[in-house]
Amino acid sequence: MTEQHPPTVIVARRFAPEHERDAERWLRHLSEAAAAMPGHLDATTQPPNSQHPGEWVIVYRCESAETLDAWLTSDRRQELLDAGADLLVGDVREQVVVLPDEDESVTAVASFRLRSGVEADFRQRYRDLRDILDRFDGFIRSELVEPVPGTQDDTAIVFSFTSRAALDRWLDSDERRDVLAAIDPLLDGERTVNVVGGFAGWFPASSTSTPTRWKQAALVLLALYPTALVLGYAREAILPDLTTPLAVLVGNVAGVAILSWILMPALTRRFDGWLRR
């Protein structure tokens, strides 16, 4: 039997610069309303970044297509959409996909609109892309999601890697730049990439929000300073003759391990209420 993964919807919106503070509050209310719906699994808000500049993205996951559709068509969601309509600039992009549900993997969705009549050429370019990805370290799988008349105008490629580091290597690779150079003439308009999994690391997103960056930095500093101090004293006592490069390497490896598996999980649980405010 084929394993069923939670259906996911990715909604991208642009807001007028003068409305950004109001937009953040409105998006938070939208996520909170989604969290209250039966069958809701989680919702993650992504502020604009280099992969989707100028766009705020909410990624919803639900237990089934029925529960996802119930949220998308609910009166409460429509009420909130009507209330936030004046904040928006341009069209809203909405994609419904089924994403891999793996604890350690990270998934991204590249979306774009094809020029008329280039579908066959694009499928060949996608086959070429798959051949390249299959040889790329950390790649797991990809899926081509074609437009659905009346529902989704964009074409999307969903691709998964074993980790965020592996995904970033792909996003920054010469191989990807070559693929984009071959595909770009077939596109009508801009191309966007949304990372929808595996970007939370030490700060897993709740059903309503992702902690602000300054709070993340403050908590990391709270864990990092005493860790670096203790490791420095320990290294000098146990391995006093290490060269500087090797001492830095040993300290970094030990520090990352302690932060990742001991301190940060404990601190994020302890300060969860503060992080989410």
* Domain identity same for 185 and 242: no
pLDDT at 213: 56
Q: Mark whether 165 and 239 lie in a shared domain.
A: no
Report yes or no on 69 lying in a domain.
yes
Task: Give which of 251, 199, 242, 234 is closest to 51, Cα–Cα.
Answer: 199
Q: How many CB atoms lie within 10 A of CB 231?
A: 18
pLDDT for res 132? 92
Stretch 47-59: mean pLDDT, rounded? Answer: 77
186, 117 Cβ separation under 8 angstroms: no
Q: Which of 167, 195, 223 is the last residue of a domain?
A: 195
- pLDDT > 70? residue 234: yes
Identify the CA nearest to 47 among candidates 90, 83, 14: 14
Q: Which of the two residues, 234 and 259, has the higher pLDDT score?
A: 234
Same domain flag for 138 and 165: yes
Return the structure tokens found at 3.
């394993």
Same domain, 42 and 134: yes
Query: Look-up: residue for tokens 């609109």?
Result: 113
Answer yes or no: do 173 and 264 share one domain: no
Q: What is the mean pLDDT of the chain?
A: 77
Strand partners, 12: 57, 93
Residue 140 and residue 25 share a domain: yes
Contact between 42 and 204 under an 8 Å Cβ cutoff? The reply is: no
Which token pair is 10?
């990715």
Q: What is d(CA 165, CA 88) in angstroms, rounded to the nearest whole number?
A: 33
In a domain, 257, yes or no: yes
Q: Is residue 121, in this structure, part of any structural domain at all?
A: yes
Please report, as a single letter, which amino acid is at residue 44. T
| 191 plus 224 within the same structural domain | no
pLDDT of residue 199: 37
- The total of structural domains in the chain comes to 2
Q: What is the mean pLDDT of residues 92-104?
A: 59
The answer to whether residue 203 is domain-embedded is no
Distance CA 109, CA 23 (A): 23
Statement to judge: residues 266 and 173 lie in one domain:
no
Alpha carbon dihedral 147, 56, 19, 71, in 10-degree steps, equals 70
Task: Scan for tokens 């101090």, then name that residue.
Answer: 229
Q: Is the pTM of this model over 0.85?
A: no
CATH number at residue 76: 3.30.70.100
141, 228: one domain = no
pLDDT at position 103 = 46
> How many Cβ atoms from other residues are within 10 Å of residue 21's Cβ?
9
Helix (H, G, I), strand (E, B) or coil at 55: coil
> What pLDDT score does 122 carry?
92
Q: 202 near 267, Cβ under 8 Å?
A: no
- Residue 212: pLDDT band with limits 50, 70, 90: low
* pLDDT surpasses 60 at 128: yes
Residue 41 and residue 144 share a domain:
yes
Number of neighbouring beta carbons within 10 Å of residue 117:
8
* Sequence letter at residue 28: R
Residue 2 in any domain: the answer is no
Beta-carbon contacts of 218 under 8 Å, excluding residues fewer than 6 positions away, are none
* 265, amino acid identity: P
Residue 1 in domain: no
Percentage with pLDDT > 70 across the chain: 75
138, pLDDT greater than 80: yes
Angstrom distances, CA of residue 98 to CA of 67, 95, 265: 14, 10, 29
Name the residue with tokens 């009420």: 79
Q: Are 235 and 156 in the same domain?
A: no
C-alpha–C-alpha distance, residues 189 and 173, integer Å = 23
Q: Are 249 and 181 in the same domain?
A: no
Between residues 116 and 256, the one the model is more confident about = 116
What's the pLDDT at 79? Answer: 92
19-33, 135-149, 185-199, 222-236: the lowest-pLDDT one: 185-199
pLDDT of amino acid 11: 84
In a domain, 206, yes or no: no
**Domain presence at residue 170:** yes
Q: Which of 138, 162, 195 is the last residue of a domain?
A: 195
Give the residue numbers spanning the domain of 68: 7-195
Q: pLDDT tier at 244 (50, 70, 90 boundaries)? A: low
Among 144, 165, 195, residue at a domain's last position: 195
